Amino acid sequence: MSSSRERILDAAVVRIASDGIDAVRIARIAMDARVSTALVHYHFATREALLAEALEHSFATAGEVRDGTGDPVTRLRAMVEQCLPLPGEQERDWVLWVELWLRAVRHPELRPTAAKLYANMHDWFREAIEEGEFGPVDAAAIADRALALIDGFGVRALLGDPAIPLERARDEVWHALAGDLGLRAGTATS
């Protein structure tokens, strides 16, 4: 069922997260994906292309599986949860995300990928806020702030900052978001 291209991307996500985009060996990814090194080079001409596609691949899979429904508050809380570096796949995605920031600053050809991923996240939050009918709020501005807080707190949680464990990151982001939506923080966190 999975194509060789998908297997390459699955392997790339794991290897880039463990070794870093600069140090990762293409031959190793090929071995994990059970394809030839030439085929990896055929699909992905540069490391930038591989990183960009691996991230998009990882995010696309995540979105399909986890986009649950429920009441608007529960949904938004779940979305915040999905955006933080929880152990496992999300932590791996986060490592790639941090690698992407750095790589995209130096390689402008990666910036459209970064901009697209941010725009997707922004729309995802904005729509959930609008659909939640929280009253007259500026959904776009609230989404901007939530994403900035997720990145700022998330990267510290990822790096094991003792001042910002995951629970703290989650509470801080949710506290700000709940305030923006006019929810009472007490009921919203229960």
158 is an interface residue for another protein by CB under 8 A: yes
| 73-132 binders of another protein (CB under 8 A) | 95, 98-99, 101-102, 104-106, 111, 114-115, 118-119, 122
42 is an interface residue for another protein by CB under 8 A: no
Instruction: Please give, one letter per residue, the 3-state secondary structure of the chain.
Output: CCCHHHHHHHHHHHHHHHHCCCCCCHHHHHHHHCCCHHHHHHHCCCHHHHHHHHHHHHHHHHHHHHCCCCCHHHHHHHHHHHHCCCCCHHHHHHHHHHHHHHHHHHCHHHHHHHHHHHHHHHHHHHHHHHHCCCCCCCHHHHHHHHHHHHHHHHHHHHCCCCCCCHHHHHHHHHHHHHHHCCCCHHHHHC
Tell which one of 7, 20, 61, 81 touches another protein (CB under 8 A).
20
Q: Stretches 32-40, 72-80, 128-136, 155-163: which one binds another protein (CB under 8 A)?
A: 155-163
54 is an interface residue for another protein by CB under 8 A: no
Binding site for another protein (CB under 8 A): 20, 22-23, 95, 98-99, 101-102, 104-106, 111, 114-115, 118-119, 122, 141, 144-145, 147-153, 155-156, 158-164, 172, 176, 179, 184-186
